[in-house]
Protein backbone atom coordinates (compact mmCIF):
# COMPACT_ATOMS: atom_id res chain seq x y z
CA UNK A 1 0.00 0.00 0.00
CA UNK A 2 1.08 3.52 -0.78
CA UNK A 3 1.96 5.43 2.39
CA UNK A 4 2.00 8.99 1.11
CA UNK A 5 1.29 11.44 -1.72
CA UNK A 6 3.48 14.26 -2.95
CA UNK A 7 0.42 16.36 -3.87
CA UNK A 8 -3.07 16.33 -2.46
CA UNK A 9 -5.14 14.16 -4.86
CA UNK A 10 -8.23 15.64 -6.53
CA UNK A 11 -11.50 15.28 -4.63
CA UNK A 12 -10.07 15.84 -1.14
CA UNK A 13 -11.11 18.53 1.27
CA UNK A 14 -9.52 19.87 4.45
CA UNK A 15 -11.42 18.41 7.43
CA UNK A 16 -9.53 19.54 10.53
CA UNK A 17 -6.37 21.23 11.77
CA UNK A 18 -4.56 20.67 15.07
CA UNK A 19 -2.16 23.43 16.00
CA UNK A 20 -0.06 22.58 19.05
CA UNK A 21 1.94 25.82 18.68
CA UNK A 22 -0.75 28.53 18.51
CA UNK A 23 -4.06 27.02 19.67
CA UNK A 24 -4.09 28.26 23.28
CA UNK A 25 -7.16 26.22 24.30
CA UNK A 26 -5.56 23.06 22.95
CA UNK A 27 -2.26 23.83 24.72
CA UNK A 28 -4.08 24.33 28.05
CA UNK A 29 -6.06 21.09 27.60
CA UNK A 30 -2.96 19.07 26.69
CA UNK A 31 -1.01 20.55 29.62
CA UNK A 32 -3.82 19.70 32.05
CA UNK A 33 -4.08 16.16 30.66
CA UNK A 34 -0.31 15.73 31.04
CA UNK A 35 -0.40 17.01 34.63
CA UNK A 36 -3.31 14.70 35.50
CA UNK A 37 -1.38 11.69 34.20
CA UNK A 38 1.72 12.77 36.14
CA UNK A 39 -0.29 13.13 39.37
CA UNK A 40 -1.73 9.62 38.93
CA UNK A 41 1.76 8.15 38.42
CA UNK A 42 3.16 10.13 41.35
CA UNK A 43 0.37 8.76 43.57
CA UNK A 44 1.00 5.21 42.32
CA UNK A 45 4.74 5.58 42.92
CA UNK A 46 4.24 6.85 46.48
CA UNK A 47 1.61 4.20 47.31
CA UNK A 48 3.80 1.42 45.90
CA UNK A 49 7.26 2.44 47.10
CA UNK A 50 6.71 5.28 49.61
CA UNK A 51 7.31 3.24 52.72
CA UNK A 52 10.52 1.69 51.40
CA UNK A 53 11.70 5.09 50.11
CA UNK A 54 11.49 6.50 53.63
CA UNK A 55 13.76 3.69 54.80
CA UNK A 56 16.37 4.20 52.05
CA UNK A 57 18.31 7.42 51.45
CA UNK A 58 17.79 8.70 47.88
CA UNK A 59 20.82 7.64 45.79
CA UNK A 60 22.14 10.83 44.18
CA UNK A 61 23.25 9.07 41.01
CA UNK A 62 19.63 8.02 40.45
CA UNK A 63 18.34 11.58 40.76
CA UNK A 64 21.02 12.78 38.35
CA UNK A 65 20.35 9.88 35.98
CA UNK A 66 16.65 10.73 36.04
CA UNK A 67 17.26 14.28 34.77
CA UNK A 68 19.72 13.10 32.14
CA UNK A 69 17.22 10.45 31.02
CA UNK A 70 14.47 13.06 30.77
CA UNK A 71 16.53 15.34 28.54
CA UNK A 72 17.59 12.38 26.40
CA UNK A 73 13.95 11.29 26.25
CA UNK A 74 12.80 14.63 24.82
CA UNK A 75 15.18 14.12 21.90
CA UNK A 76 14.65 10.36 21.54
CA UNK A 77 10.85 10.68 21.50
CA UNK A 78 11.08 12.91 18.43
CA UNK A 79 13.76 10.72 16.84
CA UNK A 80 11.42 7.70 17.11
CA UNK A 81 8.67 9.66 15.32
CA UNK A 82 11.30 10.60 12.74
CA UNK A 83 12.59 7.04 12.29
CA UNK A 84 9.05 5.79 11.68
CA UNK A 85 8.30 8.59 9.21
CA UNK A 86 11.61 8.01 7.45
CA UNK A 87 11.03 4.26 7.09
CA UNK A 88 7.48 4.74 5.83
CA UNK A 89 8.00 7.71 3.50
CA UNK A 90 11.73 8.29 2.94
CA UNK A 91 10.97 12.01 2.85
CA UNK A 92 12.63 15.05 4.37
CA UNK A 93 11.87 15.47 8.09
CA UNK A 94 11.64 18.57 10.21
CA UNK A 95 12.41 18.79 13.94
CA UNK A 96 11.87 21.61 16.39
CA UNK A 97 11.09 22.86 19.84
CA UNK A 98 8.73 25.59 21.02
CA UNK A 99 7.61 26.49 24.54
CA UNK A 100 4.54 24.27 24.22
CA UNK A 101 5.76 21.43 22.04
CA UNK A 102 8.74 19.45 20.77
CA UNK A 103 7.98 18.18 17.32
CA UNK A 104 8.93 16.10 14.33
CA UNK A 105 7.08 16.34 11.04
CA UNK A 106 7.30 15.51 7.40
CA UNK A 107 6.02 18.81 6.03
CA UNK A 108 6.22 18.42 2.25
CA UNK A 109 3.93 15.43 1.76
CA UNK A 110 0.51 14.00 2.63
CA UNK A 111 0.65 10.76 4.65
CA UNK A 112 -2.05 8.09 4.60
CA UNK A 113 -3.85 7.13 7.82
CA UNK A 114 -2.08 3.85 8.55
CA UNK A 115 1.46 5.22 8.14
CA UNK A 116 0.54 8.37 10.05
CA UNK A 117 -0.92 6.32 12.90
CA UNK A 118 2.26 4.22 13.12
CA UNK A 119 4.49 7.32 13.19
CA UNK A 120 2.27 9.07 15.74
CA UNK A 121 2.13 6.10 18.14
CA UNK A 122 5.71 4.81 17.77
CA UNK A 123 7.26 6.72 20.74
CA UNK A 124 4.28 5.90 22.99
CA UNK A 125 4.75 2.17 22.34
CA UNK A 126 8.58 2.15 22.41
CA UNK A 127 8.96 4.07 25.68
CA UNK A 128 6.15 2.18 27.43
CA UNK A 129 8.18 -0.97 26.73
CA UNK A 130 11.37 0.75 27.93
CA UNK A 131 9.61 1.86 31.13
CA UNK A 132 8.17 -1.57 31.88
CA UNK A 133 11.54 -3.24 31.29
CA UNK A 134 13.25 -0.69 33.60
CA UNK A 135 10.61 -1.32 36.28
CA UNK A 136 11.30 -5.03 36.02
CA UNK A 137 15.10 -4.87 36.12
CA UNK A 138 16.06 -1.83 38.22
CA UNK A 139 16.47 -2.73 41.89
CA UNK A 140 15.44 -0.54 44.81
CA UNK A 141 12.51 1.63 45.81
CA UNK A 142 13.95 4.90 44.50
CA UNK A 143 14.74 3.43 41.07
CA UNK A 144 11.15 2.22 40.80
CA UNK A 145 9.89 5.62 41.97
CA UNK A 146 11.91 7.52 39.36
CA UNK A 147 10.94 5.04 36.64
CA UNK A 148 7.24 5.50 37.41
CA UNK A 149 7.64 9.30 37.36
CA UNK A 150 9.47 8.93 34.04
CA UNK A 151 6.56 6.82 32.71
CA UNK A 152 4.06 9.43 33.95
CA UNK A 153 5.95 12.24 32.21
CA UNK A 154 6.26 10.12 29.07
CA UNK A 155 2.59 9.12 28.88
CA UNK A 156 1.45 12.65 29.79
CA UNK A 157 3.87 14.03 27.21
CA UNK A 158 2.20 11.82 24.61
CA UNK A 159 -1.13 13.65 25.14
CA UNK A 160 -0.91 15.24 21.70
CA UNK A 161 0.05 11.97 20.03
CA UNK A 162 -2.81 10.18 21.80
CA UNK A 163 -5.24 12.91 20.74
CA UNK A 164 -4.19 12.32 17.12
CA UNK A 165 -4.62 8.57 17.63
CA UNK A 166 -8.09 9.08 19.08
CA UNK A 167 -9.06 11.16 16.03
CA UNK A 168 -7.89 8.35 13.71
CA UNK A 169 -9.91 5.82 15.72
CA UNK A 170 -13.08 7.90 15.79
CA UNK A 171 -13.42 10.69 13.24
CA UNK A 172 -10.91 9.67 10.58
CA UNK A 173 -11.38 5.91 10.18
CA UNK A 174 -11.26 6.08 6.39
CA UNK A 175 -7.89 4.57 5.29
CA UNK A 176 -7.77 7.18 2.51
CA UNK A 177 -7.47 9.99 5.08
CA UNK A 178 -4.34 12.05 4.36
CA UNK A 179 -2.45 14.11 6.93
CA UNK A 180 0.04 16.86 6.34
CA UNK A 181 2.28 17.08 9.43
CA UNK A 182 4.52 20.13 9.67
CA UNK A 183 5.48 19.09 13.23
CA UNK A 184 3.42 21.38 15.46
CA UNK A 185 0.50 21.50 12.99
CA UNK A 186 -1.39 18.52 11.58
CA UNK A 187 -4.01 19.02 8.88
CA UNK A 188 -6.38 16.19 7.99
CA UNK A 189 -7.79 15.76 4.49
CA UNK A 190 -10.63 13.42 3.56
CA UNK A 191 -12.20 12.31 0.27
CA UNK A 192 -14.95 14.81 -0.54
CA UNK A 193 -17.92 12.58 -1.33
CA UNK A 194 -17.92 10.31 1.74
CA UNK A 195 -17.86 12.93 4.45
Write out the residues near Zn ion by the rule CB under 5 A.
Answer: 161
Nearer to Zn ion, 161 or 181 (CB): 161
Contact 115, 7 (CB under 8 A): no
Report in angstroms how near the CB of residue 143 gets to Zn ion at its nearest.
Answer: 25
State the Cα–Cα distance between residues 169 and 136, nearest whole angstrom: 31
Query: What residue number has its CB nearest to Zn ion?
Result: 161
State the Cα–Cα distance between residues 75 and 82, nearest whole angstrom: 11
Report in angstroms how near the CB of residue 74 gets to Zn ion at its nearest.
Answer: 10
Report in angstroms how near the CB of residue 123 gets to Zn ion at its nearest.
Answer: 5
Report in angstroms how near the CB of residue 103 gets to Zn ion at its nearest.
Answer: 8
Helices within 90-176 (DSSP H only): 113-137, 141-157, 159-170
**Long-range CB contacts (< 8 A, 24+ apart) of 83-86?**
83/122, 84/118, 84/119, 84/122, 85/111, 85/119
In the chain, the N- to C-terminal Cα span, in Å, equals 22
Amino acid sequence: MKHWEKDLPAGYREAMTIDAKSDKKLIVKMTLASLAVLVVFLALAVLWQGKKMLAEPMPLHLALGFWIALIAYLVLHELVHGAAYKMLTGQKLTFGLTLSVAFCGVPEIYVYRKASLIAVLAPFVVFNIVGVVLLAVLPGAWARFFTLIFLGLHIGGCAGDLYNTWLYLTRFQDPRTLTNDTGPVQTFYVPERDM
